[in-house]
Structure 1
Amino acid sequence: MGEKAIPIFPCRSIELTWDFYRALGFEQTTWQTRPNPYLAVRRGDAELQFFGWKKHDPAASMNMCYITTTQVDALYEAFRGGLREALGRVPTRGLPRLSAVRDMSYGVRQFLLSDPDGLQLRIGQAISDDTRHAPIPEEKVARAFHMAALLGESKGDHRAAARILDRLLRSGEALSPSERLKALVLRADAAAHLEEWPRVRALAAEAREIELPDSSELGDDLGRLADLEAAVPVEGPASPTGGTL
């Protein structure tokens, strides 16, 4: 059996879409401007196809595609580097945007990438044979982290995520240095989505002041912190999108 499924998505411009995916290391396999705009791209075994539709509304897009990989961290760093080179920074909000990479509660390590037309790629690697959702943690700090990440990334409710983290940070709970760093980075991420740039600056500065006895297991958080710091506008109002290519 030689079947293979390749998804086809709308985009406003195949030129802009190609610019974006080229920055991520994709190669172009099909390019057509007449009679209808059409683009196909490939990176390894991942293939995506697009048709041009000027009426497409990225803000209303519900398009998604899951890509499995055996090298999620290497792919994340490649995409992160490509976006930084193309945009001058890693876009953390708006469109396009790149999430943090995280170990999920269902045995997958993954990140989310949204393209300029609102297509969300979920890119993950299995890290467990058990892909069932683990129970919500009962311990207070772990539960707060779990719920904040769930509400912010999976549901897009960044205000609810911010409230959970604010309660944790103000609770007087004895947080270890690594737990405080994680809480501050998650809260700064929520603030960036809400365009609360002074808050992002303050949270990032507080996170940088933490003395970490061992940062070897905090690479994901420290990398995200650096991306959030770079995303803060130098001056003036924030752009309504994450950037253009």
Structure 2
Amino acid sequence: MTHAVTIPVLPCVSLDETLDFYGLLGFQRTYRQTAPNPYAVVEHDGAQLHFAGVKGLKPTESYTTCLVIVPEVERLHQSFAEALRSVFGKLPISGLPRISRMRKGQSRFTVVDPAGNSVIFIRKDAPDDYDEGQKPQSSSPLGKALRAAARLRDFKGDDRAAAKVLEVALARNEKGLPIERARALAARAELAVALGDETRARSAREELQRIPLSETEQAQFREELEAADSLARTQR
């Protein structure tokens, strides 16, 4: 085959609701029909998403996923986040619809639309091995837990599982580099904020403040330290 093109067709409950949502994100509607079957197409910078109305669809039980390869993701995520915040009053990181969180240097993020479809936007030069932000890689228990939590949080969108992985690793209190424990606590605090657990977020921050770190070490993961506070601000 020459110049083959693959176009996903995603299910939806309501074309109106779906088109309004993607319109909010800056997608343009390029086609719509109501009969014989509900069908519509939206486009954003050359990426097309097709939707078909499906009777009886349960958005909370949807597992439909689509990958969109894009030149960059950070500004795109910021644009989507600002649009969603303007309507919802805060960044919707749970429920339907929602958008996953984004950290500097991250190569992908996920938008889950009102029908439960997960559209994953991936930077075209994204690494195959999803261990972003954990270089150099550590083989310590905490280092492994940090990478596992990152995959669960950012790739699978499972904050609860990510929090559990870190909680187990932190509870073992095994010897390791102070900065690794600090990173794990910072990640745990951010997950606690995302899950609405203010008590755990506060206790993680308090322990983090007691860890002796040099100025150089603090600078190495300043963005991780600020992630929980940044997320808390978007939820107000």
Q: Structure 2 length normalisation: TM-score? A: 0.75
Match for residue 122 of structure 1 among 100, 120, 123 = 120
- The residue identity in structure 1 corresponding to 2:202 is A
Change (3 A) 1:163 1:155: same
> Are the aligned partners of 2:109 and 2:154 in contact in 1 as well (CA < 8 Å)?
no
Offset at residue 57 of structure 1 (A): 0.9
Equivalent residue number for residue 101 of structure 2: 100
Residue 45 of structure 1, CA deviation: 1.5
Following superposition, the deviation at residue 74 of structure 1 comes to: 1.4
**Corresponding letter in the other structure for 1:110:** R
Distance 1:133 1:61, change over 3 A: same
Alpha-carbon distance in 2 for matches of 1:224, 1:68: 28
| Secondary structure of residue in 1 paired with 2:107 | strand
Does the C-alpha gap of structure 1 residues 167 and 122 become closer, same or farther in structure 2, counting only changes over 3 Å?
A: same
Is the contact made by 1:10 and 1:51 (CA closer than 8 Å) also made in structure 2?
A: yes
Residue 33 (structure 1) aligns with:
34
Q: How does 1:60-99 map to 2 (within 5 A)?
A: 60-99=61-100
| Secondary structure, counterpart of 1:4 in structure 2 | coil
**Aligned residue number for residue 151 of structure 1:** 152
Which secondary structure does the structure 2 equivalent of 1:28 belong to?
Answer: strand
Deviations 1:186-211 (A, max 9, x none): 32454466x54433663687599799
Q: 1:1-245 maps to which residues of 2 (within 5 A)?
A: 1-101=2-102, 109-127=107-125, 131-132=128-129, 137-155=138-156, 157-170=158-171, 171=173, 175-176=178-179, 180=182, 182-184=183-185, 186-191=187-192, 195-199=195-199, 202=202, 218-219=222-223, 222=226, 225-231=229-235
Q: How many Å separate the matches in 2 of 1:139 and 1:59?
A: 37
Larger mean CA deviation between 151-160 and 214-223 belongs to 214-223
After superposition, the Cα gap between the structure-2 partners of 1:28 and 1:220, relative to the gap in structure 1 and judged at 3 Å, is farther
Q: Which moves more between the two structures, 158-167 or 22-31?
A: 158-167
For residues 58 and 51 of structure 1, the distance between their equivalents in structure 2, rounded to whole angstroms, comes to 14
For the residue of structure 2 that corresponds to 1:116, the secondary structure is coil
Identify, as 1 or 2, the structure richer in helix: 2
Contact 1:185/1:225 (<8 A) preserved: no
